[in-house]
Amino acid sequence: MTLPSLLIDEIANRAVDRKLPDGSPYRSLSLMDSLQLARRYDLMGWEVEIGALENGVVPERYARNLHMMSPEDQVQLLQSRVSVIGLGGLGGAVTEILARIGIGRLSLFDADHFEDSNLNRQFLSNLDEVGSPKAEAAAARVGRINPSVEVHAAKVLVGRENAEALLRNSDGIVDCLDNIQTRFVIEDAARRLGCPLVSAAVAGASGHLTTVFPSDPGLVSVFGPRDAAAEKGSEASLGCLPQAVTFLATLECSEIIKILLGRGALLRGKLLTADLMDNTFEILRLQ
């Protein structure tokens, strides 16, 4: 990315010396300075943040990502686009985590509205949002958390006729749905687009997660043949508890971040299962 030299000079002039808790020094750019420069140069906030990182300055909001992630890693995340399908329990928590760690572009899809019964587990919901579209709440939440993120949020039901168009240009797709047949539709679109997919499901206090690349057998190894698969999983009878939803959402984010950075052990060809009531965690190899 080529940015104006005047912008790079302004970043350098506004940067200040700071130290991490372990004493490591770094040059820091404040959030307010990042936003002001984005407005002045008519850029997205993530573009200014990339310019800072590529010139030895760390946006302060990402300072605590350092050591576990390099400045180059942060640039990679800021350059990435992730699509999240379903903005309920899983999707709301996934959206929050991805915005906080600094995914530069988020595409968020859900046709539903918040109901009273969502309040037990869906982080995007609150008393004021009951009756409101989930996609609108997600976009507003990201704007309050990290205004540098570029958000495309749509109140749309992702299906066979539009999935490929909606998900095009994604670097990673996160399946946060509760409908098994639609999961297969999303997997088909991801396969055609050559895009990795992270899929999770929650029922009661348990759940499972897998990562699917385009050449993998994929969800048929989890749910069986699609023609024989039910529309809804066990969550229809067991409900969804917030601790399980948040746990699986965290794992989904961990997988998508590792995919984007190209390092770390993935659950590709494997199924992680977890039962938080029994504290049992297993990784099964899929056939």
C-alpha 27/C-alpha 15 separation (Å) is 6
For residue 230, the number of C-alpha atoms closer than 13 Å in the C-beta half-sphere is 7
Please determine, for residue 48, whether its predicted confidence score (pLDDT) is greater than 80.
yes
Q: Which pairing describes strands 206-212 and 197-203: parallel, antiparallel, or unpaired?
A: antiparallel
Distances in Å between the Cα of 207 and the Cα atoms of 73, 174, 202, 203, 266 are: 29, 15, 4, 6, 17
C-alpha 247/C-alpha 160 separation (Å) is 29
pLDDT band at residue 256 using 50, 70 and 90 as cut-offs: very high
> Token digits for 134?
């989930």
> Token digits for 188?
């088909």
Alpha-helical (H) ranges within 102-223 are 134-145, 163-167, 180-193, 220-223
178-192: average pLDDT: 96
Position 233 scores a pLDDT of: 64
Please determine, for residue 239, whether its predicted confidence score (pLDDT) is greater than 80.
yes
Please determine, for residue 228, whether its predicted confidence score (pLDDT) is greater than 90.
no
Q: Which residue has the tokens 């999303």?
A: 186
pLDDT band at residue 242 using 50, 70 and 90 as cut-offs: very high
Q: Which pairing describes strands 105-109 and 81-85: parallel, antiparallel, or unpaired?
A: parallel
pLDDT band at residue 43 using 50, 70 and 90 as cut-offs: very high
Backbone angles phi, psi at 264, to 5 degrees: 100, 160
59-83: average pLDDT: 98
- Delimit the domains of the chain by residue range: 5-66, 80-285
N-to-C CA span, the chain: 42
% of the chain with per-residue pLDDT over 70: 97
Please determine, for residue 271, whether its predicted confidence score (pLDDT) is greater than 80.
yes
Please determine, for residue 1, whether its predicted confidence score (pLDDT) is greater than 70.
no
- pLDDT averaged over every residue in the chain: 96
Topology (CATH level 3) of domain 80-285? Rossmann fold (3.40.50)
Please determine, for residue 230, whether its predicted confidence score (pLDDT) is greater than 80.
no
Question: 78 with 104: CB under 8 angstroms?
Answer: yes
C-alpha 266/C-alpha 283 separation (Å) is 11
Q: Lowest-confidence range among 79-83, 169-173, 221-225, 267-271? A: 221-225
Q: Which residues contact 52 (CB under 8 A, 6 or more apart)?
A: 11, 15, 29, 34, 58, 59
pLDDT band at residue 91 using 50, 70 and 90 as cut-offs: very high
C-alpha 100/C-alpha 89 separation (Å) is 17
Please determine, for residue 225, whether its predicted confidence score (pLDDT) is greater than 80.
yes
227-239: average pLDDT: 72
C-alpha 89/C-alpha 182 separation (Å) is 17
Q: Lowest-confidence range among 25-34, 156-165, 220-229? A: 220-229
Please determine, for residue 160, whether its predicted confidence score (pLDDT) is greater than 80.
yes
Question: 121 with 240: CB under 8 angstroms?
Answer: yes
C-alpha 127/C-alpha 247 separation (Å) is 24
